Structure 1
Amino acid sequence: MSGRCRISGFAGDFFTLCAHETGPVKSAMADLSVDLLFDAAVRIQLLERSIVISFAADNSVRIKIPTIRRLAEFLGTPHYLVLRTFAMMEKEDLVIKAEREGIVTTKKGSKKMIRLMRDTYRKETEGILGTTVLEELFRKS
């Protein structure tokens, strides 16, 4: 299977993947949006069945974002375009680069990502995190 697969639909608890597609960004390479990167980050986490969440002392939630190279590979776009959008995300206080953690969401970014998990990928996210953890995430966001 190609590294450039994307979720094209859901069938029960299983993802339906299109192995021969080049990704959803091919025609809009020069203009990656913040929403597109957050969506890609969630989809990567769901496909890899790995969502890293930390709860800080100030009651905030931080979610680890896949690496810039992983996002670029997933979207089928050059990594420098993803870097440019990440710079915007940092300016908008959605993500930060944390030493020894990589890129993680801020309180504002976590709310955006959790909303996406709740509204678009709830069933799949619950399948990985479980109901209790997911409900706690919703409560804290």
Structure 2
Amino acid sequence: MSALSPDEVLNAVARILIFEDRAITFLCTQDEVSIRFPKTRRLAAYLSVPHYYVIPVLAAMEEDGLVTRTERVGVSTNAKGTALLFSRIMEHYPAEVKQILGKDLLSAIRGRICEE
């Protein structure tokens, strides 16, 4: 089994949020907007790999400044990761995102993410 890449993980996160959850959980603070990832075991199941294959990829993504991992809370993007994941979602699934968020919320979120 070959090693997972951050791109594969981000693509899986995007597909889970858009097509399975039909929801995107944002956390908006004064400093940034973050997107909550699915639980690690769910992500691993979606990718058809053991969960311990996903953990090192998430650790590498944390080192690269894309995500923050918090024990017992989960994984969420930081400003850099939010911009990357959201742009990927918008590039591949714009109609679905608009259905989920609605035009006004999509515009507001896009504005916040682009200004960071």
TM-score, normalized by length of structure 2?
0.89
Q: Give the drift of 1:30.
A: 2.3
Q: For 1:49, which of 22, 25, 35 is the aligned residue?
A: 22
Of structures 1 and 2, the one scoring higher in RCO (CA 8 A, sep 6+) is 2
Percentage identity across paired residues of the two chains: 35
Unaligned runs of 5+ in 2: none
Per-residue CA distance 1:68-127 (angstroms, 9 max, x = gap)? 100100011111111111110010011102366421100000000110111111111111
Amino acid at match of 1:133: L
Q: Which has the higher strand share?
A: 1
- Structure number with larger C-alpha Rg: 1
1:105 corresponds to 2:85: no
TM-score normalised by L of structure 1: 0.74
Counting matched residue pairs gives 112
Quick check: which one's helix share is greater?
2
> Structure 1: any 5+ residue segments left out of the alignment?
1-28
What's the C-alpha RMSD, in Å, of the aligned pairs?
1.4
